[in-house]
């Protein structure tokens, strides 16, 4: 059943938020718990688990707030993460995306600082961002809080929580490609003393595309309540649901290789899909969080997270072993497929954290344990080998009606994967002097998976990983830091015998300087990082016997520098400025040529002096040139360096009513979305207009 915007309007309740982009990086901690009937700002402690200011954390952390997302119209996670320093959003398919940092895929995800099970790297479908207060990106290895991890980083999604005062927002948007969107956010206390409160967030969107035949609709709802139980306990309960439907999606993407070794070029609307294709997804999450205030500044916290994912699809893949004929544009062959999926995950995490006095100084400590399970079943609807959908295709670009829908067979189970992750962890911050502090931590994990694909598998791995960091306050506003972390990442790729590769292991180092300016409103971070990874899964070829890709483990080293400036320059200007320069070395280094070695991002918002009702903003992202050898034809496909620029203007007509206009890809740059798996062309210049009412 398709989602109607009209039906979503009935759920819309409005509310207001007076927050600004500015952040105090000294006072802001990565988590402040609810205590004794007082509801405080909640943010994640996703880097170490300790209540540390971002400045005092010995890793690079970027924060994308809901205000940045609202201003630049970042309604989905992909757009929000494009605002973060050092993140590459690799949309290699219309429905699948990978996030990259420091040259590698980000496979670790947190919700409110709690690590989720392995194998959440690929994001299927567009995930709405409206339910999050902010998104933190912790760059570098972070196994301390997630149990597993590589040298890329961790994305921590911080949910919206109830507020102390009644407030609300209602927003209506329309734009290019027949975009229509509605948002509603309402929060209110339930009791006179504010001890209990609730919040509901609703969003619905319907949009066509610049890509031929592609359309999407999405509905999202999130509700949360929290409050006091007695004088020392608090309880939070929440639930979210998203249903996203896509018609006319691509499976795989464009073939940009010609048979003569040259690179093919098409219009931005080019698509390999057929009209009968679809890919629909459904995500549900639920969580419970209980905290208890122990004696002497110690707290007990227990959380439970539940998540289910289901999808259904009819897909069509177009490929070529020789490349397209540059004259006739023929050479593609069709391949239909359908693999519905069901995935269910559970995670329980308990921890005790607090402060202790020793040798006349105050120190911090957290110890905890977690247990996570997930069950994934993938089905298939087989198609007979002589079905016309497997035949050679007409000259490309072709229409969406050139291949009849195949005769789908009976649904059968294709594969099953059961995962289990047990963890014990601890971290401590020791204040050695007024200027010098150390952070020491450990993570012990037992990772198990069993099931079957083409063959049965049953694996169990155990690993003990240390973490160490040190910070030194050079002067009041300047801090130097260094950190070390082990790398341990189970891998989901198969070798030529269809066996899972061994986990990738290694070490990660980071050294940097952080400084805050303008009364702690602006934070600058300059970091050097280095990672040595062994047995990292790298594409090795196509198994002609099975038709499946296979991989091998190679040693890959990465190092580079990152700069970020984030915060408020003055009363009128907020800024995010980032730059990353990266080196990648390994036995098969050319397999990583598709990773841009240099990226830069900039976002500025300003309130016009003398016209306080008007706000303007601009953001842009640049990446260096990349290339990739097409895995079927052996032809190298190239993407020149390019930049995209977006802008917005907002007019606050009254204290409650505002109008915002957004313009994206201002220069109408033509580019390929990703060379990770050879993507498609990004959107041309497009716009949206939003009407927002707050009360």
Range 10-694 classified under CATH 3.40.640.10? no
pTM of the predicted protein model: 0.90
User: How many Cβ atoms sit within 10 Å of the Cβ of residue 147?
Assistant: 27
With tokens 């066996």, the residue in question is: 499
Average of per-residue pLDDT across 416-443: 93
Question: Cα separation of 150 and 46, whole Å?
Answer: 16
Q: Tell me the pLDDT tens digit for each residue of 164-197.
A: 899 999 999 999 999 999 999 999 999 988 899 9
Q: What is the mean pLDDT of residues 229-236?
A: 92
**Cα four-point dihedral sign 580, 78, 71, 116:** negative
Taking residues 57-77, what's their average pLDDT? 94
> Residue 585 CB: number of other CB atoms within 10 A?
12
Rounded-to-integer distance, Cα 310 and Cα 446, Å: 27
Mean pLDDT for the chain? 88
Going by the DSSP 8-state scheme, the letter that residue 145 receives in this structure is H
Tokens 């519905």 -> residue = 340
- Categorize the per-residue pLDDT at 551 as very low, low, confident or very high, splitting at 50, 70 and 90: confident
pLDDT at 54 over 90: no
The DSSP string of 455-497 is SEEEEEEEEEEEEEEEEEEEETTEEEEEEEEEEEE----B-TT
Task: Assess whether pLDDT exceeds 80 at residue 26.
Answer: no
Instruction: Give the span between the Cα atoms of 50 and 82, in whole angstroms.
Output: 27
Distance of CA 371 to the CA centre of its chain: 23
Asked if residue 153 lies in contact with residue 508, where contact means CB atoms within 8 angstroms, the answer is no
pLDDT for res 230: 87
Please choose, from the candidates 238, 34, 144, 18, the residue with its C-alpha nearest in 3D space to the C-alpha of residue 469. 144
Span 43-49, average pLDDT? 53
What per-residue confidence (pLDDT) applies to 499?
85
Q: Is the dihedral of CA 596, 597, 598, 599 positive or negative?
A: positive
Alpha carbon dihedral 64, 65, 70, 74, in 10-degree steps, equals: 20
85: closest CA among 100, 66, 67, 107? 100
pLDDT tops 90 at residue 505 = no
Report the pLDDT value the prediction gives residue 119, as an integer from 0 to 100.
55
pLDDT tens-place string over residues 372-419: 999 999 999 999 999 999 999 999 999 999 999 999 999 999 999 999
pLDDT band at 588 (very low <50, low <70, confident <90, very high): low
Domain ranges of the chain: 10-694
pLDDT surpasses 80 at 31: no
What is the pLDDT at residue 268? 97
Which of 250-259, 492-501, 595-604, 660-669 has the lowest average pLDDT?
Answer: 492-501
* d(C-alpha 52, C-alpha 297), whole Å: 15
Give the start-end residues of each E strand in 28-107: 60-65, 87-90, 96-101, 104-105
153-159 and 108-111: which strand pairing?
Answer: parallel
Cis before 688 (ω within 30): no
Q: Is the pLDDT of residue 501 over 90?
A: no
pLDDT for 491 equals 83
Instruction: Tell me the helices (H) and strands (E) count for the chain, helix number first.
Output: 4, 34
């Amino acid at each position: 059943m398709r989602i109607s915007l009209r039906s979503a309007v009935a759920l819309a309740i409005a509310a207001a938020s007076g927050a600004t982009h500015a952040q105090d990086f000294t006072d802001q901690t990565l988590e402040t718990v609810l205590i004794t009937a007082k509801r405080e700002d909640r943010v994640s402690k996703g880097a170490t688990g300790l209540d540390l200011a971002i400045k005092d954390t010995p890793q690079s952390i970027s924060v994308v707030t809901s205000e940045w997302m609202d201003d630049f119209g970042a309604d989905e996670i992909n757009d929000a993460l494009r605002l973060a320093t050092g993140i590459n959003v690799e949309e290699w398919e219309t429905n699948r995306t990978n996030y990259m940092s420091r040259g590698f895929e980000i496979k670790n995800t947190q919700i409110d600082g709690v690590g989720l099970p392995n194998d959440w790297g690929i994001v299927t479908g567009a995930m709405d961002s409206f339910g999050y207060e902010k998104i933190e990106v912790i760059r570098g290895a972070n196994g301390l809080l997630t149990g597993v991890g590589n040298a890329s980083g961790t994305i921590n999604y911080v949910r919206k929580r109830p507020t102390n005062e009644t407030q609300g927002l209602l927003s209506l948007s329309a734009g290019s490609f027949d975009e229509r969107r509605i948002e509603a956010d309402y929060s209110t206390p339930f009791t006179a003393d504010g001890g209990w409160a609730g919040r509901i967030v609703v969003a619905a969107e319907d949009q066509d595309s610049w890509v031929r035949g592609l359309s999407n609709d999405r509905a999202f709802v999130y509700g949360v309540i929290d409050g006091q139980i007695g004088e020392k306990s608090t309880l939070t309960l929440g639930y979210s649901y998203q249903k996203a439907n896509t018609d006319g999606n691509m499976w795989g993407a464009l073939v940009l290789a010609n048979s003569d070794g040259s690179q093919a070029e098409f219009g931005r609307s080019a698509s390999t899909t057929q009209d009968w294709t679809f890919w629909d997804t459904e995500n549900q999450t639920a969580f419970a969080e209980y905290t208890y205030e122990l004696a002497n500044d110690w707290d007990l916290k227990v959380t439970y997270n539940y998540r289910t994912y289901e999808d259904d699809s009819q897909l069509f893949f177009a490929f070529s072993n020789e490349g397209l004929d540059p004259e006739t544009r023929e050479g593609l062959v069709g391949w239909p497929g359908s693999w519905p999926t069901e995935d269910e995950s559970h995670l329980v995490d308990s921890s005790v954290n607090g402060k202790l006095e020793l040798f006349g100084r105050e120190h911090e400590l957290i110890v905890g344990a977690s247990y996570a399970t997930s069950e994934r079943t993938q089905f298939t609807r087989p198609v007979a080998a002589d079905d016309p959908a497997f035949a050679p295709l007409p000259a490309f670009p072709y229409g969406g009606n050139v291949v009849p829908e195949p005769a789908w067979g009976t649904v059968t189970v294709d594969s099953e994967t059961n995962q289990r992750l047990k963890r014990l962890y601890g971290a401590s911050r020791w204040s050695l002097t007024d200027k010098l502090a150390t952070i020491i931590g450990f993570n012990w994990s037992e990772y198990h998976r069993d099931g079957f694909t083409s063959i049965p598998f049953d694996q169990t791995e155990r690993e003990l990983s240390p973490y160490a960091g040190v910070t030194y306050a050079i002067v009041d506003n300047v801090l130097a830091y260094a950190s070390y972390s082990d790398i341990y990442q189970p891998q989901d790729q198969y070798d030529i015998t269809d066996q899972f590769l061994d986990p990738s292991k290694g070490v990660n180092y980071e050294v940097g300087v952080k400084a805050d300016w303008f009364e702690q409103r602006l934070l600058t971070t300059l970091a050097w990082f280095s990672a040595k990874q062994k047995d990292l899964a790298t594409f090795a070829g196509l198994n002609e016997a099975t038709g499946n890709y296979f991989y091998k483990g190679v040693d890959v080293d990465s190092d580079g520098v990152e700069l970020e400036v984030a915060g408020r320059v003055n009363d009128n200007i907020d800024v995010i400025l980032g730059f990353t320069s990266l080196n990648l070395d390994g036995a098969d280094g050319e397999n990583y040529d598709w990773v841009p070695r240099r990226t830069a991002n900039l976002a500025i918002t300003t309130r016009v002096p003398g016209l306080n009702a008007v706000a303007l903003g601009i953001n842009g992202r640049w990446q260096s040139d990349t290339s990739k050898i097409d895995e079927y034809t052996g032809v190298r496909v190239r993407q020149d360096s390019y930049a995209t620029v977006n802008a917005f203007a907002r007019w606050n007509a009254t204290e409650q009513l505002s109008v915002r206009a957004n313009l994206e890809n201002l220069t109408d740059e033509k580019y390929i979305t990703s060379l990770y798996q050879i993507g498609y062309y990004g959107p041309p210049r497009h716009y949206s207009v939003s009407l927002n009412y707050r009360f």
